[in-house]
Structure 1
Amino acid sequence: MKRNLTIGLGAVFLLVSCSNNEKIIDSLVNFNNSKEAEGYHFGDKLALPKEVTDNVEAVAISFGDKESSDLTIDPKFFTMGDNEVTFVIKTKNGETLNQDATINVFARKPEQNIAYEIIKDYPHDPDNFVEGFLIEGNTVYESDGLEGTSQLIKYTLGSTVPSLVARQPANIFSEGCAVVGDKIYQLTYQNRKVFVYDKNTFKKLSEFRMAKAMKEGWGLTYDGENLIATDGSKNLFFLDINDPSKVIKTISVAGNTEVYDKLNELEYYDGFIYANVWHQPFILKINPATGEVVGKLDFTKITEENVQENSEHVLNGIAFKGNNMLVTGKNWAKIYEVSIK
């Protein structure tokens, strides 16, 4: 009789334990339906469900090859946007439970709408499918795309006649470009190549394989230390200038309520990264340390003027002439000079 009672109590314990485990797992399965609907910010503490806090001894978060028992949203572990993680839970009865979840991280403050005034415009060759665009002094360096017409060109602002041209093989689709000292780096779209040229002669100096982490080549800029590239996702890839196939770090980009993907043409200026979003009429101002979008410039009016005949003629050119921004796009007939308020 005593033996049967022991077995009975053991069975009850197992049932209670299984029930608690199911509650814990179910609460984490639905984790995104509570606080996650609003998202977290860097510095926030994870608000775990009561079913977890009442029944566990310890909780850790696994990020694949990393694990943290600190439930603070720390940029050492989390990126902006969606973070795929696994909760590793030690229950009070000594069991270990694992549950996958998504933790969304957004900028704490809403993006500032940045006011501007168009003060001047310059002619631009409408045959150029602009992918990369930058200026030094009064000299524009431009990378133009499409297979069969891809090229790297150099011209004086106000002129549409290039002083220097490096044409690409017919199978190459050129993308973003960046000047580093006396060199120009140029991305390719799906060819998975990075070309390096002499800035003064356009002689090709070297060629690298694109970083494996990047799906495609889109935008490129230089922050004084690393190349920064986009691949059409929400990510910014910081690349080694001596070996662009090597990724130094990756950050994701998000605003106060949304994740921004399809990041395209880039420009680094005065401590911030400026990026346009493919097929959108605005340019983002991004904190390079966190990926937080701190501001947005809306160019709806000039974009609509330039995409009337072809929806692919999108905004896709950002450069800085002193404190003023230069803006153009794919097959646009103008470059606009903008004074930022």
Structure 2
Amino acid sequence: MKQNIMAGLAAVFLLTSCNNNEKMLDSLADYNNARESKGYHFGDKLDLPKEVTENAESITISFGDKETTDLTVSPKFFTLGDNDVVFRIKTKNGEVLNQDATINVFTKTPEQNIPYKIVADYPHDPKNFIEGFLMEGNTVYESDGMENASQLIKYTLGSSTPIIVKQQPAEIFSEGCAIVGNNIYQLTYKNKIGFIYDKNTFEELSKFPLPNTMGEGWGLTYDGKNLIATDGSKNLYFLDINDPSKVVKTIAVGGNSEIYNQLNELEYHDGFIYANVWREPVILKINPANGEVVGTFDFTKIAKQNTKGTEDVLNGIAFKGDHMLVTGKNWEKIYEVVFQ
């Protein structure tokens, strides 16, 4: 009889424990889902539901190989934008529960919608699948992608006839480019290498491996000290100019209420980084010190005029003095805009 009673009590305890665990995870999931769109700011406290805190001996947040028991949103662990984490809850009865979550961290200051006016347009060769775009003087340097069609070219603004063309091997898919002194640095998409060329002759000077932390090569620019690269994520990678395979620092980009992933073509101008978002008709103005998006440019109108499919999207930022030049993959025009 005693054995039956003990077995019954154990079954009741197990059922109660399972029910409590399920309630804890359900309440945590509801809380996370409710907060995902609202997000957090640095310094905010994760105010977890009582079903969790009252039944937990400890709560740990895991970030890959890092973890913390501090429920404050700290830049030591979190970055701007989306953060994939795992809540690890040790219950008072000794069980361990895990739940995946996405914690979005936004900036406190809203992005400014920056007005502009188109003041001129120039021809652009629609055969060019543009990946990198920059201007020096009146000369445009352009890196065009696609396998069997990748090239580095330069031409005078207003003419679509190249001055120099550097065709690249069939297996190369060219991406962003940047000028440093007399050299041009160029990324590749999935080939995991970059090239360095002589700016005047396009002679190949050397190659370098892309950093392992970058999944792919997308955009590239130069801030006067470091190369800055994107890989299609929310991150900006600052690369050592003397060893571009070395990441000096990484900064995540975020807005006041928007998650900005798939950062692509880049341009550095007058203390700010400008980046387009792949397949979005928007260019971001980013503070390079902290990754905050301080302004956005909406190019919906010109993107609609030039985008016929899913690939020929906005993807080109350069500066002519303080005027911005904007173009895209296989576009027939380059637009010159002035900020208002």
What is the TM-score of this pair, normalised by structure 2? 0.86
User: Take 2:17 and 2:146, find their aligned partners in 1: how far apart are those partners?
Assistant: 62
Q: CA offset at residue 32 of structure 1?
A: 2.0
Q: Distance in 2 between matches of 1:171 and 1:100?
A: 39
Which blocks of at least 5 consecutive residues in structure 1 are unaligned? none
1:175–1:71 Cα change, 3 Å: same
Give 3-state SS (helix, strand or coil) of 1:86's partner.
strand
Deviates more, 1:48-57 or 1:187-196: 48-57
Q: Could you say which residue in structure 1 is the equivalent of 2:316? A: 317
CA–CA distance in structure 2, aligned partners of residues 8 and 332 of structure 1: 74
Change (3 A) 1:37 1:333: closer
Residue 263 of structure 2 is aligned to residue 287 of structure 1: no
1:8: how far off? 9.9
**Counterpart position of 1:261:** 261
Per-residue CA distance 1:127-160 (angstroms, 9 max, x = gap): 3221101112222211112223321122232333
Equivalent runs, 1:134-145 vs 2, <5 Å: 134-145=134-145
1:28–1:101 CA contact under 8 A, matched in 2:
no
Kindly indicate whether the alpha-carbon contact (under 8 Å) linking 1:31 and 1:101 is maintained by their aligned counterparts in 2.
no
Mapped to 1, the partners of 2:292 and 2:29 lie a distance apart of 27
1:115 Cα offset (Å)? 0.1
Aligned to 2:126: 126
Q: How many angstroms does 1:185 deviate by?
A: 0.9
**Deviations along 1:234-253, whole A, 9 cap, x unmatched?**
33333333333333343443
Deviations 1:51-84 (A, max 9, x none): 2232334433221222223222222211233222
Q: 1:55 to 1:152 in 2, by over 3 A?
A: same
Task: Verify the 8 A CA contact 1:281 1:315 in the aligned structure 2.
Answer: yes
Matches within 5 A, 1:300-315: 300-308=300-308, 312-315=311-314
Indicate the residue corresponding to 2:60 in structure 1.
Answer: 60
Q: Does 1:217 align with 2:207?
A: no
CA RMSD of aligned residues (A): 3.0
Percent of aligned pairs sharing the same letter: 71
Distance of 1:135 and 1:305 partners within structure 2: 24
Q: Which residue of the partner structure matches residue 146 of structure 2?
A: 146
Q: Identify the residue that residue 183 of structure 1 maps to in structure 2.
A: 183
The whole-number CA distance in structure 2 between the counterparts of 1:138 and 1:186 is 20
Asked whether 1:103 is paired with 2:100, we answer no
Aligned pairs (5 A) from 1:77-88: 77-88=77-88
SS at match of 1:41: coil
**What TM-score comes out, normalization by structure 1 length?**
0.86
Cα displacement string for residues 199-244 of structure 1 (whole angstroms, at most 9, x for unaligned residues): 2322211112223333332211122333222223333333333333
What is the count of residue pairs matched by the alignment? 340
Could you give the per-residue CA deviations for residues 13-58 of structure 1, whole angstroms, max 9, x where no partner exists? 8776665444433332333223234221222211211122323344
Cα distance in 2 for partners of 1:147, 1:10 equals: 65
Tell me the equivalent position of 1:239.
Answer: 239
